[in-house]
Amino acid sequence: MKYLFYLSFLVIAVYPTQAQTVKPIFPQPLSPRLANYQIDVTLDPVTKKLNGRETLTWRNPSNDVIRELQFHLYLNAFRNENTTFMRESGGQLRGTQLDRNADENPYGSIDIVSMKTRAGEALAYEFFQPDQPVNRNDRTVIRVPLTKPVGPGETLVLDISFRAKLPKIFARTGFSKDFFLVGQWFPKIGVYEPAGTRYASQGQWNCHQFHAHSEFYADHGVYDVNITTPKDFWVSATGLFQSEKLHPNGTKTILYHAEEVVDFAWTASPHFKVVNNSWKRPSGVKSIWK
């Protein structure tokens, strides 16, 4: 096996010796798997930009008729100094500051190019600010009205194209030279909470803006993500490596498959080190696991 390590935080990527087809990780689902994603994304390491295509398969978990969807656009928290996150945090997190004086543009953003139903209907969206105090400059949440509502238990499939610019690495996402930590990077559907869930007295969307002091909340699901980078980059990501395909233009595409996760993050750099080895517990060292 090959194990991929890097210093600022540890990633272990298990690479099979041969490419394999995507096979279920768990014999039976461990969750309802309400939000499932198939994503194709290309990284441009020069411009620090992503181009992506996403297919979202979402199931209505409630007895309600859903007439609008709500999505997070997390990278817009780094769009400028006027976002809710930047106002609340002052551009710092746990003592780390956004490098506003960097030679490269330190800010990040995400834009939806198009959103369509599987039948081909184009959907419009609008930014809104569900939290108080209202910040009209925040663009981290959108609502998407539906002309055809989603009934109880029904499934909706959307095809979404998007583009994004990564910020200078900060608050768990971004770039530093040719190192990329890609988190909170794709249009992500919020959580619809049926009546009786947590504090919901009636069915409602839980889809808050990106705040300085909050955590991420999402449904469990299955992710199949194709990541295209220059061929000399090493890539590691949530889930299990499935395959690698080289292209004539000097790039390659890595496929990762993950199940029962609430998010998907990945990292890429030409400077990662690969160690071919296996680990054995030294004699006399007891396991902490019972």
Is residue 16, in this structure, part of any structural domain at all? no
Is residue 24, in this structure, part of any structural domain at all? no
For residue 257, the model assigns a pLDDT of 97
Tens digits of per-residue pLDDT, 213-235? 888 999 999 999 999 999 999 99
For residue 88, the model assigns a pLDDT of 92
CATH number of the domain that 88 lies in? 2.60.40.1730
Is residue 209, in this structure, part of any structural domain at all? yes
The structure tokens listed for 236 are: 């590691």
pTM over 0.85: yes
CA–CA gap between residue 158 and residue 55 (Å, rounded): 6
pLDDT higher than 60, residue 261: yes
Tens digits of per-residue pLDDT, 93-141? 766 777 777 777 899 999 999 999 999 999 999 999 999 999 999 999 9
For residue 110, the model assigns a pLDDT of 98
For residue 11, the model assigns a pLDDT of 42
Tens digits of per-residue pLDDT, 6-39? 333 334 344 443 345 688 899 999 999 999 999 9
In DSSP notation, the chain reads: -EEEE-SSS-------SS------SSSS-SS---EEEEEEEEEETTTTEEEEEEEEEEE--SSSPEEEEEEE-GGGGGSSTTSHHHHHHSSEETTEEP-TT-SS----EEEEEEEEETT--B---EE---SSSP-TT--SEEEEEEEEEEPTT-EEEEEEEEEEEPPBSBTTBEEETTEEEE-S-S-EE-EEE-TTSTT-SS-EEE-----SS-------EEEEEEEEEETT-EEEESSEEEEEEE-TTSEEEEEEEEEEES---EEEETT-EEEE----PPTTPPPS--
Is residue 287, in this structure, part of any structural domain at all? no
Is residue 178, in this structure, part of any structural domain at all? yes
Residue range(s) defining the domain that contains residue 260: 34-268
Give the rounded percent of residues in the chain with a pLDDT score beyond 90.
75
The domain tally of the chain equals: 1
For residue 290, the model assigns a pLDDT of 53
Is residue 230, in this structure, part of any structural domain at all? yes
Is residue 148, in this structure, part of any structural domain at all? yes
For residue 7, the model assigns a pLDDT of 34
Tens digits of per-residue pLDDT, 269-284? 999 988 888 878 888 7
Tens digits of per-residue pLDDT, 231-252? 999 999 999 999 999 999 999 9
Is residue 228, in this structure, part of any structural domain at all? yes
